[in-house]
Amino acid sequence: MRNMLAYCFAVLRRDTLSKLLSPDVIVGSSVHPFAALAAAVLAARYQVPFVFEVRDLWPQTLIDMGRLKAKGFVARGMHLLERWLYHRASRIIVLLPHANEYIEPLGVPPEKIVWIPNGVDLSVFPRPPIASEEGSFTLMYLGAHGQANSLETLLKAMSLVRQHRLPRAVKLRMVGDGASKPELMRLATELGISDVVSFEDAVAKREIPRVAAEADAFVICLRDLPKLYRYGISMNKLFDYLAGARPILIASAASNNPVVEAGAGLTVRPDDPEALAAGIVELVNTPSEVRCRMSVAGRNYVEAHHGFDRLGACLAEVLNGVVEERHGRS
């Protein structure tokens, strides 16, 4: 909280932005609510429209994860702040597909809310070659190693996969860093799967296409938190996976499922090692031509709906619209 407030006050210092040209519009993103607050105050100072980009539903996400008491002082204060931001904004850009179901009951007109999801820069993410059918089957996780990622479920699933006779041995590559990584490495040793699981350092964004091309399939695990995911998901790594043109195994019960929408893989119950292991086995046993169709479908889907060129055009339309409204040309 202290760092959030320090950031807000630092941005609002008049000498911080004194050398910048006066903007036409200011966008405040809810990496945390005080960043958006700083943007709203700056918009008032410059007398330009304020657009609120809602990445996470603060404080509701923290409440749903059990990290914040719903009736506590901090939560109540954040609720007041978010309501003010929603009503102060000329437009509200949401990343979650059903976030409007949370925002509209707070008295926000539906026409004020625009859904622009996460996506991927396809100009630096070319279609990879078709995965080889030789050697071991490489299952890859690319992303943060944190509590929210349910990666202990993935490791337990890998220990169960070893009990199956499969046409190709399965190896799991876990690429990334996070607070849970040391404990996950210990768990892999305890489960006796260190020979089939490798932990690798995080890679730069520009390196993701190269590393992703080395996978036969991707895996992503969500927690079984219905309240948290009732407004949907829009995870950056999921769109990287789709762009990577490999089948995706997702453990999720969220209200939307891009993998299903794309026809790009399999879905299993979250926080269930047995279900995830069964999904891995099914994916390995799936005929190569079917996996290839999943791969192509995922890439086609992300090109049609989640390329930065398309999303950027949507954002430009929103920003131009609020500026025109401000000048009475709507």
Chain Cα centroid distance, residue 21: 33
Amino acid occupying residue 124: V
Chain Cα centroid distance, residue 4: 21
Report the alpha-carbon angle 35-38-43, nearest 5.
130
End-to-end CA distance of the chain: 39
Question: Two tokens at 319?
Answer: 């920003």
Which candidate, 145, 118, 262, 302, places its Cα nearest to that of 250?
262
Question: Two tokens at 196?
Answer: 């089939």
Taking only the tens of pLDDT, the chain with its 330 residues reads 566 555 545 655 666 666 678 899 999 999 888 899 999 999 999 999 999 999 989 999 999 988 899 999 999 999 999 999 999 999 999 999 999 999 999 999 999 999 999 999 999 999 999 998 889 999 999 999 999 999 999 999 999 999 999 999 999 999 999 999 999 999 999 999 999 999 999 999 999 999 999 999 999 999 999 999 999 999 999 999 999 999 999 999 999 999 999 999 999 999 999 999 999 999 999 999 999 999 999 999 999 999 999 999 999 999 999 999 988 754
What structural domains and CATH numbers belong to the chain? 2-119+308-326 (3.40.50.2000), 122-305 (3.40.50.2000)
